[in-house]
Amino acid sequence: MSKGHILGIDIGGSGIKGAPVDLEKGEFAEDRKRIDTPEDSTPEAVAEVVAEVAEHFKKDMKDDAPVGITVPAVVHHGIVRSAANIDPSWIGTDAEALFSKVLDRRVIVINDADAAGAAEMHYGAGRGHEGTVLLTTLGTGIGTALFLGGELMPNTELGHLELDGYDAEKRAASSIRENEDLSWEDWAERLQRYYSHVEDLLWPDLIVVGGGVSKKADKFLPLLHLRAPIVPAQLRNDAGIIGAAWLASHHRS
């Protein structure tokens, strides 16, 4: 690993994954390191695992290099403000201060969907698009990232729009399809309702669909009828790590 590479770490519900990222190529510079997320996923417990992931790559990291870390929550000036799919004890946590202390270096903490969106915009399906681009991640919930002219508007949280009396992700997330054993056609009807509503609010020029289910995009994207092109993400599960590293390296202090 070159000393010029930046470490990205992606905190998920089941695993905490990290890798040094070659920002010229938009790919991992070394194989990623993955450790199971602690069952008791408090900030302190997660920080211990993050430190273990970082230690795996420490010998090759520049002393002054920042680390980018994602969390599945709203992150406002380094402080976690929501906990839809993580332990409630995260709310109010100064995550940047916590991780900076355990890693002994500058850390940038980012919403996980925003990180994935940044990766897709710079290296993947959104590359070269200067209009309004919406990335959605379909997984346990629905994460969103919104870009205008290539610039991120962070913490959009459009998976929590109320639709038909429900929090949108409680009806249309990929986990709901699995839990309710929905056919692709039935799930596509719910996605159609969701994306149509978001499209009427934002009028995006492009919609990018990420999350693990994007590997099966041919099963459901052709069933959707929207004004904007809707395409699968290209970086898939690598996007969070790559985007975290990119945002850390471009962060304005």
Flag whether pLDDT at 3 surpasses 60: no
Task: Round the average pLDDT of the chain to a whole number and report it.
Answer: 94
Can you spell out the DSSP letters for 58-123? Answer: GGGS-TT--EEEEESS-EETTEE---SSS-GGGTT-BHHHHHHHHHTS-EEEEEHHHHHHHHHHHH
Flag whether pLDDT at 209 surpasses 80: yes
Task: Please give the share of the chain, as a percent, with pLDDT higher than 90.
Answer: 89
pLDDT mean over 39-55: 96
Rounded alpha-carbon distances, angstroms, from residue 28 to 24, 33, 179, 211: 11, 11, 33, 18
Q: How does residue 63 score in pLDDT terms, banded at 50, 70 and 90?
A: confident
Flag whether pLDDT at 55 surpasses 60: yes
Q: Model confidence over 161-199: pLDDT tens digits?
A: 999 999 999 999 999 999 999 999 999 999 999 999 999
The pLDDT, as a whole number, for residue 253 is 58
Is the model's pTM score more than 0.85? Answer: yes
3-state class of 127 per DSSP? coil
Q: Model confidence over 225-252: pLDDT tens digits?
A: 999 999 999 998 899 999 999 999 998 7
The pLDDT, as a whole number, for residue 1 is 43
Rounded alpha-carbon distances, angstroms, from residue 57 to 9, 21, 95, 146, 164: 11, 11, 21, 31, 47
Task: Scan for tokens 């509503």, then name that residue.
Answer: 197
Q: How far apart are the first and last CA of the chain?
A: 26
Enter the tokens of residue 98: 């916590």
Flag whether pLDDT at 123 surpasses 70: yes
Higher pLDDT, 134 or 130: 134
SS3 per-residue string spanning 201-235: HHCCCEEEEECHHHHHHHHCHHHCCCCCCEEECCC
Flag whether pLDDT at 74 surpasses 90: yes
For the beta carbon of residue 25, count every other beta carbon within 10 angstroms: 10
The pLDDT, as a whole number, for residue 144 is 98
